[in-house]
Homo-oligomer: A and B are copies of this chain.
Amino acid sequence: MTTVACAPVDLVEVWRGDILESMHQGHAVICGADGQIVDAWGDAGAVIYPRSSCKMIQALPLIESGAADAHGLGTRQLALACASHQGARIHTDPVQDWLDTLGLQDADFRCGPQWPADVPARNAIIRAHAGPCQIHNNCSGKHAGFLTLNRHISGGADYELVDHPVQQMGRAAFQETTGEDSPGYGIDGCSAPNFATTVHGLARAMAAFASAHDRSDTRSHAMVRLREAMMLHPELVAGETRACTDLMRAMDGRAAIKTGAEGVFVAIVPEARVGVALKIADGTTRAAEAAIAAILVRLGVLDADHPAARARMVPDIRNWRGTLCGRIAPVTALAGR
């Protein structure tokens, strides 16, 4: 068995009153276009699952194979292929159109049914005394991409299995962009394999996306298209009130960012030609959001005073009556305060 090398460091504090109530530790790497570490906290060599943070890597074969162009996919579909959306109508309607174009149905997905996080969508299902479909799954855009690629390459049934050509193409792209042999894989929430790498490896892949406009190969062109699609449609990558959407809007095209389950976050910063990857060791989303916001401020692409930045980097903790009880805050070493 492989274990995480053990040196996470304090990254995000949770204060209530004058007492430090909880602490989140983790690992973070800022990587340059040459693949080398620019800055790091904790253990850059810690092995992690990127989870949904690597969806833009998983979408590379969709473009590189010619499948995206053969099916006329636009920037909206590419953004959805990289998304962990919350199942709002703005997400499920275009994914349904995409499915229709392929002549496929909800039952052709392999991501499983998931209640939408979007409150109006969830409430509509509850009021109809119904249940969610696979299209509501936060990964349904990624799976529409898998289905499109599979159609293009005639890959056969069971596209979600690790030995299927669709996933093997994803694995190759993953290993090539991270620059590492993956030490293994896990089954993700959406049933697709999720390949492990180090925090450094994941940051290296993001740096390749960030510097892709300096190169003219097929992969680099695909990388530019995916990162631009994410930044063009931040509302499709996650949804209203969500960190990826709010922070990408606040940065207005200066960075593409993506969350992953269990405390992962990545960023692609083209103007600085750096990639960022971080993992909160305990898997907590609130800490991953605070940490990525702090690093984006540090890199100069997010204004610390923007309301969206404050809401994620140093969020107030309020109780059921709205009383201010405490605050979450990145440690000084991360924020550079």
Bound together, the chains give a CA A23 to CA B282 distance in angstroms of 5
Q: List 5 A-B contacts (CB under 8 A).
A: A14-B262, A19-B47, A19-B196, A21-B49, A126-B126
A25 → B minimal CB distance (Å): 8
A90 within 8 A of partner (CB): no
Distance between A286 CB and nearest chain B CB, rounded to angstroms: 9
Which B residues touch A19, using CB under 8 A?
A: 1-4, 47, 49, 183-184, 186, 196
- Listed from nearest, the 6 A-B pairs whose CB atoms lie closest are A112-B320, A22-B283, A17-B186, A16-B186, A112-B321, A282-B282
Partner of A111, one of B110, B112, B320: B320
B319 near A189: Cβ-Cβ < 8 Å: yes
User: CA of A111 to CA of B319 in the docked complex: distance in angstroms?
Assistant: 9
- What is A's interface to B at a CB cutoff of 8 Å? 1-4, 8, 14, 16-25, 47-49, 110-114, 123, 126-127, 137, 183-191, 194, 196, 262-263, 280-284, 287, 319-323, 325-326
List the B residue with the shortest CB-CB distance to A47: B19
In whole angstroms, how far apart are the Cα atoms of A111 and B321 in the complex?
7
How far is A93 from B100 in the complex, measured between Cα atoms in Å?
48
Q: Which of B126, B284, B321, B323 is A282 in contact with, Cβ under 8 Å?
A: B284
Additional A-B contacts beyond A21-B48, A21-B283, A282-B282 (6; CB < 8 A): A2-B20, A19-B184, A22-B282, A126-B126, A189-B319, A190-B320
Q: Within the complex, what minimum Cβ distance (angstroms) separates A137 from chain B?
A: 6
Grouping DSSP codes into helix (H, G, I), strand (E, B) and loop, the A interface class, with mixed when no group exceeds half, is: loop
Interface contact B21-A184, CB-CB below 8 Å = no
Instruction: Please name all residues of chain B whose beta carbon is closer than 8 Å to the beta carbon of A111 when the two chains form the complex.
Output: 320-321
Whether the pair A319, B188 counts as a contact (CB closer than 8 A) is: yes
When C-beta atoms are compared, the residue in chain B nearest to A113 turns out to be B320
CB <8 Å contact, A320 and B189: yes
For the complex formed, measure the closest distance between the CB of A11 and the CB atoms of chain B, giving whole angstroms.
11
Given contacts A114-B320, A320-B111, contact A3 B17 (CB under 8 A): no
Q: Is the CB of A190 within 8 A of B17?
A: no
- CB-CB under 8 A from A321, the residues of chain B are 110-112, 191
Given contacts A49-B21, A127-B127, A281-B23, contact A187 B2 (CB under 8 A): no
Residue of B nearest to A3 (CB): B20
On whether the beta carbons of A191 and B320 are closer than 8 Å, the reply is: yes
A279 closest partner in B (C-beta): B22
Min CB distance A83 to B, Å, is 16
Task: Find chain B residues with CB under 8 A from A185 CB.
Answer: 17
A8 to B4, CA, bound (A): 17
A112 to B322, CA, bound (A): 8
A77 to chain B, nearest CB (A): 22
Q: For residue A158, give the distance in angstroms from its CB to the closest CB of chain B.
A: 12
Question: Shortest CB–CB separation between residue A118 and chain B, in angstroms?
Answer: 13
A4 to B48, CA, bound (A): 28
B112 contacts A191, CB within 8 Å?
A: no
Contact B22 A263, beta carbon cutoff 8 Å? yes
Asked whether A187 lies within 8 Å of B47 as measured between CB atoms, the reply is no
Closest residue on chain B to residue A325 by CB atoms: B187
